Amino acid sequence: MSSEIYIDTHAYHRSEHTQILVGIDTVGVHPWELKEPFNKEDFEKKWKLVSTNCQDKLALGECGLDRSHEGIVGIDIQKEVLMKHFELAAEHSLPIIIHSVRSNSDLLSLLKKKPFKGNILLHAFGGNQYEANELLKYPVYFSYGARLLKNPLTIKSVPIERILLETADQKEVKIEEIYFEAAKILQISLESLQIIILKNFLRFFNQANNGRSSDFIKKINSR
């Protein structure tokens, strides 16, 4: 497989590159959907759709915790919903994509209480070095996006085999720009970074780096 490949591990908008599209390749209940006051009946309807549709998806998510967004339920209900995602992901052997805003300590407390054995992607990671070090005790991958263009964050100190890249909801930023900036910060060639991210991506989705992994990439690109 050619190393001339850009992988966008968490994307909202289609491009010509290999990408995981939220809501197309994944399914989950985002914390912003958990409006206050909490409507349990409405949530159960959403959860039934998630449970029914997850078998055909590549991952669960985007789901998670958010202590910053206004108008949503408190952290305790958010934790309960996230635990349901972890349980469902474990049942179907799916990785999980996490939204965590000012809540990495909450996520760590959940993982300490009931460790999740599958792979976890922390999208748009913006935590500090202590949080990164603690999260590295679990099968966590750190995805960096547009903020990397302004702030290197923790990318230099996270093991390179745990790094992935993304555009998320940033229409004006291309995945090539994020790769270029990451390569510069990490002081490696763009070609080397492409090979590393490809390997990390395949490992995150439990794909062996062989002919079948090539089929996996082709399948994503042909949807």
Q: How far apart are CA 171 and CA 166, in angstroms?
A: 11
As a whole number, the mean pLDDT across the chain is 94
Segments in 63-158 forming alpha helices (H): 75-92, 104-113, 129-135
Query: Tell me: the pLDDT tens digits for 52-89?
Result: 999 999 999 999 999 999 999 999 999 999 999 999 99
How many domains does the chain fold into? 1
Three-state SS for 62? Answer: strand
Find the mean pLDDT for residues 95-104: 97
Q: Is residue 1 part of a domain?
A: no
Amino acid at 70: E
Q: Is the peptide bond before 87 cis (omega within 30 degrees of 0)?
A: no
pLDDT of residue 152 exceeding 90: no
pTM to 2 decimal places: 0.94
What's the number of CA atoms in the CB half-sphere (13 Å) around residue 125?
31
Domain CATH number, residue 82? 3.20.20.140
* Conformation bin of residue 14: beta by default, left when phi > 0, alpha when psi is -120 to 50: beta
Q: Is residue 2 part of a domain?
A: no
Q: How far apart are CA 62 and CA 110, in angstroms?
A: 17
Q: How far apart are CA 88 and CA 80, in angstroms?
A: 13
Q: How confident is the model at residue 100 (pLDDT cuts 50, 70, 90)?
A: very high
Q: What is the pLDDT of residue 153?
A: 79
Q: Is residue 15 part of a domain?
A: yes
Owning domain of residue 88: 7-221
Q: How confident is the model at residue 2 (pLDDT cuts 50, 70, 90)?
A: very low
pLDDT of residue 135 exceeding 80: yes
Instruction: Count Cβ atoms below 10 Å from residue 47 Cβ, excluding itself.
Output: 16
Q: How far apart are CA 45 and CA 59, in angstroms?
A: 20
Q: Is residue 83 part of a domain?
A: yes
Which tokens belong to 196? 């590393």
